[in-house]
Structure 1
Amino acid sequence: MSDHSGTVPDAVGVPGPPRLTRWFDERLTRAGVTGRFARDCLLAALLTVLTFLVMTLLFRFVAPAEGLTFGPARVWSVIALCTGQAMLLCLRRVRPLLCLALVVGVQVPVIVLSVPEATVRGIAPFVAAYTVGVLLPVRTALLAAGAAVAVETSGVAVAVRAADAADFAVGGPGPGPLATTVGHLATSVLIYVGLVVLGSYVATYRRYLRLVRVRADEAVRAQQATVRAAIGAERARMARELHDVAAHHLSGMVVQAAAAERLIDSDPSAAKAGVGWIRSQGKETLDNLRLVVGVLRGRPGDSDGNAPVPGLAMLDDLVRDARQLGSPVEFVRDGQHRDVPPIADVALFRIVQESLSNARQHAPGAPVRVELRFLPRKVSLEVRNDRPTRRPEPRSSSTGGVGLVGMRERANLIGAQFTAGPTTAGGWSVAVTVPTTGDDARATGATATVNGDDQR
């Protein structure tokens, strides 16, 4: 029987209640025996029957074998008192101090009725003392145990003196009153104080297990929160990657579709060629999306193993595609080409890709200049477009600023300086500077400055 009616959920890696205890709790709950008092009444009934059987065997077989004889009235009085003492255990957890006091109060007449050489003690004192140690603070429990020892020892002293004066002992002279009293005192201390200490230890161990379970549960919840945060960050990264790929290709397809729509009556062959380009561009878009999703999932089987990873080496193809869509793009490469870290290589490519898509959407027909400079200690990249030559098509306001946020986050990820904003000529400029050698290359922080309000 546990000392509390509720149960604490077991944490991962922390031992829970013993299997036998859980089995009994489940059976008692199914039987409708719930709550402390109801279960203690059941325990008291079982111990009452057990006490009756033990006392009957004691007086019928053990005492005669030891040469001790008792009158029938005394035997049945002791048995009745001990069984009644066991019935008091129904109060052991609802009123532990009262239960111990009543048990000790019944124990005194049991001592008086038994001979000093063979003081009888039932099961109830052991259970009551242990319960007090489990439920009460250590100091209170020890004071209660000391009081129980004092009361019982006083009863023994009175009984021994009375037996010595009236020649109460049966079966020959026994030890002196002082020796009997001291022996009973030692026994009482061992029983009451020892079981109180044992109960206090068990209670402390149970509290420790509950604390460990709570801390383990908190650790599990913290780990789950970390996993959820990582999943959210990965979803955001996937959304940015898909946005970059889809925005670049689909914006070109929209432009080409509009041109084909205008030419379908006047120049069917040109319109047919435009539709064919849209079909090929759509296939390329699907291939790129499949590549991105496969890489982000970490499942190589979902992507083409021979597909090139986007980087600065593919800027020429990116610029050529933009020119095919009718955007006047100038690409300037300065300095001796050298490799940059893979994550920076991909990030710079995606920034150029997003900048060209933004220029096509927000400044249609405006000249665009892409400058890639390999300097001694850094790589700088700038995409600048002039004022639009025609009015841009209206777009949903819910998508504003997503591309610029993605570019800024990519720059932060690689520790680059990022600047984006309108130019004095009415256009727009995006500039990124990545340190490649020395202390700057090991920089972990990043500075991002946006001049003016987000427009992309």
Structure 2
Amino acid sequence: MTESSSARRWRETPGDTDREWVRREPERREYARDVVLAAILLGATALSVLLSQSAGFYEHPAPIWISALYVVVCTAPLALRRRWPEAVAVVVGVVFALAQILSVSETLFANISLFIALYSVGAWGRHRARATIVRVVIVIGMFVWLFAALVAHTSDPGSFANIPRDGAISPIVAIGLLQIVTNLLYFGGAFYFGDRAWAAARERSALVARTAELAAEREINAQRAVSLERVRIARDLHDIVAHHVSVMGVQAGAARRVVDSDPEGAAASLRSIESSARTAVAELHRMLTTLRDDEHPGGDAPSTRGLEQLSTLVGDTREAGVTILSRTIGTERPVPPTVGATLYRIAQEAITNTIKHAGPGAEIDLRLRYLDDAVELELGDTGTGSAVAAPGIGTGEGHGHLGMRERVDAVGGTIQIGPRARGGYLVRARIPTGEAE
């Protein structure tokens, strides 16, 4: 079976989706949240600078105007972190490094701002190759700056003068390893969480697209179901009209033969013809009304007829002058509507075929059996069967036989159609109904 385009898109590899999918532009509420975040970080960073200067972390701290400029430039760009994530990350990274070089008395919120900037590149960078390059360049630059600072500290004899040297590892090596591990965790976390946010957004987008496709497919399937229902209704229309026309033909022939010898009998046949014609027109009108109804194509159509109407069908057949014997075997019980409608239409089609092809004087024997887990309809006649059948009728190739087989197959039943050994024709349909309650 050929896989649908929607299924192929759903099963694409992440790499293929990365090349094709571009994250949407931020919404206004997301910009508003970023502005609030930047304002909070600006205030917190300003407070941290004041506290750090008061604590005397640096012997010669940067002038206040440099610290104020640092506070603004390090945090304000985060308000645009979703719109231009790469540019924001570069600005914050440069300011972070300059702050260390210029001895700005603040490191806590500088690290937080840089982490958010790097995370935003991974989460919102719409050009993935550029996003990766920007982050790698920033990380490499930070590690170069870290190694340079470590080398500078180790070159200064007074840097480790007050540190005890009786540990298992050299203090210089220990400090260097701690700095490297800390930075690896820091930048690795920014990389990982940013990429995971991007992947989660991509999966949500695919899920939304798949949901929309499924909704469209459901709509198409609903329209297809309506079309199939209309086909079924049209087939029912054929059965109904064919049955009534066949009955009218038999009645007209009977009236013609007795019009001189038995005027009352001829009048009765004509009244029966009139009744059958009106019934056929009424059925036709109801069917066409149903077919025109786009919202309820399967409404109050004659296809809802079931086993309860078999007696009416038998009565109409008798009025047409055809001898028919009807028997019900077993305990009657309610059956599913689809089963009842199918058996009714099979009986109607079989009677119509008998009237058309069985020859004059043919008798019909209709038996309805209620079994434990099924209902069986058997309809035989004493006519000449396939010998006088229209082409294809006797071999099951006619449209009527095909329609009966399709109906029975649709409800999981079986059907036998063919001439009987003792003469005549037989139709036997068996449809499961489940265990009797």
Place the TM-score, normalised by the shorter chain, in its bin. 0.5 to 0.7
- Aligned runs of 1:415-434 on 2, under 5 Å? 415-420=413-418, 429-434=425-430
- The verdict on how the C-alpha distance between 1:308 and 1:101 changes in structure 2, with shifts beyond 3 A counting, is closer
1:408 to 388, 405, 408: 405
Which residue does the alignment assign to 1:317? Answer: 315
Deviations 1:118-138 (A, max 9, x none): 688377623432034435699
Deviation at 1:405, TM superposition (A): 2.5
1:192 pairs with 2:187 = yes
What is the root-mean-square deviation of aligned Cα atoms in Å?
6.4
Deviation at 1:112, TM superposition (A): 1.4
User: What's the % identity of the aligned pairs?
Assistant: 23
One-letter identity of the residue aligned with 2:188? V
Which residue does the alignment assign to 1:370? Answer: 364
1: CA distance, partners of 2:331 / 2:286: 23
1:203 pairs with 2:198 = yes
Classify the secondary structure of the residue corresponding to 1:203: helix
- The verdict on how the C-alpha distance between 1:182 and 1:118 changes in structure 2, with shifts beyond 3 A counting, is farther
2:66 to 64, 71, 76: 76
CA contact (8 A) 1:160 1:180 kept: no
Q: Which runs of 5+ in 2 are unaligned?
A: 1-17, 165-170, 291-295, 391-396
- The verdict on how the C-alpha distance between 1:79 and 1:365 changes in structure 2, with shifts beyond 3 A counting, is same
Which residue does the alignment assign to 2:234? Answer: 239
Deviation at 1:359, TM superposition (A): 5.0
- The verdict on how the C-alpha distance between 1:166 and 1:366 changes in structure 2, with shifts beyond 3 A counting, is same
TM-score, normalised by the number of residues in structure 2: 0.57
- The verdict on how the C-alpha distance between 1:280 and 1:307 changes in structure 2, with shifts beyond 3 A counting, is farther
1: CA distance, partners of 2:75 / 2:344: 87
Which residue does the alignment assign to 1:18? Answer: none
Deviations 1:408-427 (A, max 9, x none): 22343362332247x99xx9
Which residue does the alignment assign to 2:380? Answer: 382
One-letter identity of the residue aligned with 1:368? A
2: CA distance, partners of 1:403 / 1:254: 18
2: CA distance, partners of 1:345 / 1:122: 77
1:157 pairs with 2:150 = yes
1:128 pairs with 2:117 = yes
- The verdict on how the C-alpha distance between 1:339 and 1:91 changes in structure 2, with shifts beyond 3 A counting, is closer
TM-score, normalised by the number of residues in structure 1: 0.55
2: CA distance, partners of 1:272 / 1:256: 10
- The verdict on how the C-alpha distance between 1:92 and 1:230 changes in structure 2, with shifts beyond 3 A counting, is closer
Deviation at 1:310, TM superposition (A): 1.7
Which residue does the alignment assign to 1:331? Answer: 324
One-letter identity of the residue aligned with 2:187? Y
Equivalent pairs, count: 377
1: CA distance, partners of 2:283 / 2:81: 75
Classify the secondary structure of the residue corresponding to 2:110: coil
- The verdict on how the C-alpha distance between 1:185 and 1:381 changes in structure 2, with shifts beyond 3 A counting, is same
2: CA distance, partners of 1:308 / 1:434: 14
2: CA distance, partners of 1:365 / 1:188: 99
Deviations 1:346-371 (A, max 9, x none): 544433422333455x5597443323
Q: Which runs of 5+ in 1 are unaligned?
A: 9-20, 29-42, 168-172, 324-328, 393-399, 444-456
Classify the secondary structure of the residue corresponding to 2:309: coil
One-letter identity of the residue aligned with 2:235? R
